[in-house]
Copies of this chain bind each other. A is one copy, B any other.
Amino acid sequence: MPSQKVNSKSKKKEEPVILITNDDGVTAPGLRNLVEAVRDLGKIVVVAPDKPQSGMGHAITIGSPLRLHQVTLMDGVEAWSCSGTPVDCVKIAHDKILHRKPDICLSGINHGANHSINVIYSGTMSAAIEASIENIPSIGFSLLNFSLEADFSAARKYARIIVEKVLKAKADKHLCLNVNIPNVSEDLVKGIRTCRQAYAKYEEEFNERNDPAGRKYYWLTGKFVNFDKGKDTDVWALEHNYVSVVPVQFDLTNYELKAKIEQTYKW
C-alpha cells in the first residue's frame, strides 16, 4: 500500500527524487529506457498508467475512482501502475505515494513524436505540464518512432544529458521542456536545439466503415501538415537531425490578442 514516505532528511547530501511517468503505459519499452538512462541520478519512483493513454491530453478522472498497484518493473526501482490518465498519475504520485514533491518529473520516452501541435494532444506532455503547474520542474521525452522495437540509444543518451543539466542548473520551478529525439542512429544526431513550437496541424479524414449490422463508425485519421517555415521550430530541428527542446507554459493567455481585443472590442 502506498504509505512509505520518502524521508527527506535521511542523508546529508540528499539524492533527488525523480518521478517517472508516461502515456504508453507502465510496461512500455520507452519508460524502461528512460529509467535506465537516469537511474543513477537519484531515487527513481515510477507511477504510470496501467494501459496505453496516448492522446489523452490533459484529461483527469473525475467520474470514477482510481486504483494503484505496486508492480515489479526493474530491480531496485519502486514502480506503481495507476488506472487513470497520465495527469492523474502525477497528481496521485505526489499525494499518495511520495507524500512530497519530487525534485523533478520525467515523462516518456514516448513512442512517437510530440513536436509542434502534438504537445496539446499528448498524454506524455500533459503529465509534464501538470508537474510544472505543481511547481515541479519537468521534462517530457519523445522518440520519432512508433515501433515497440525502436532503437532508444540516441534518446537515452540525450535524455541523460538534458536531465543532468536541468538537475545541476537548479531549474525554474515551472520549467517544462518538450524534448523530441529524431529517429536516427546516435552518431547522426547533430546536437540539441532550443526551439519554439512549430505551427502545424492535422487535416482530419475520418475513415468511415460499416459494422456487421450495417451501422456506420468512424476512425480518426489525418494528415500532418506543417505550415511553419521557420528555422527556429522543433519540426525544423528534427528534420535536420537535432534533438529539439521546446520550453512549455501553462498560461494559455494570448496576450497579443488580448491587447487587440482591448483596443477594438467595446464590450
> Residues on A close to B: CB < 8 A?
1, 52, 54-63, 65-68, 85, 87-88, 91-92, 94-96, 117, 119-121, 126, 129, 133-134, 161-162, 165, 169, 172, 174-176, 178, 191-197, 199, 201, 204-206, 208-209, 215-220, 245-255, 257-258, 260-262, 264-265, 267
Contacts and interface: CB of A to CB of B under 8 A. Distances in A.
A218 B84 CA distance: 10
A223 to B, nearest CB: 12
A162 B67 CA distance: 43
Given A59-B57, A120-B58, A267 B217 contact: no
B117 A250 contact: yes
A169 B265 CA distance: 8
B199 A251 contact: yes
A133 B121 contact: no
Contacts of A66: 206, 217-220
Copies of this chain, complex-wide, total 2
Contacts of A191: 267
Contact of A120 (B62, B129, B257): B129
Given A58-B57, A165-B267, A196-B258, A218 B96 contact: yes
Residue picked from A61, A67, A258, most chain B C-beta under 10 Å? A258
Contacts of A56: 57, 59
A249 B245 contact: no
Which of A67, A92, A161, A220 has the most CB atoms of chain B within a 10 A radius of its CB?
A220
Nearest to A82: B218
26 contacts: A1-B216, A57-B58, A57-B60, A57-B87, A65-B217, A66-B218, A66-B220, A67-B217, A91-B204, A91-B206, A96-B208, A96-B218, A120-B129, A133-B201, A176-B254, A178-B252, A192-B267, A194-B258, A196-B253, A197-B252, A246-B252, A247-B255, A247-B257, A249-B254, A249-B257, A250-B252
Contacts of A121: 58-60, 87
Contacts of A117: 133, 250
A255 B219 CA distance: 36
A218 B165 contact: no
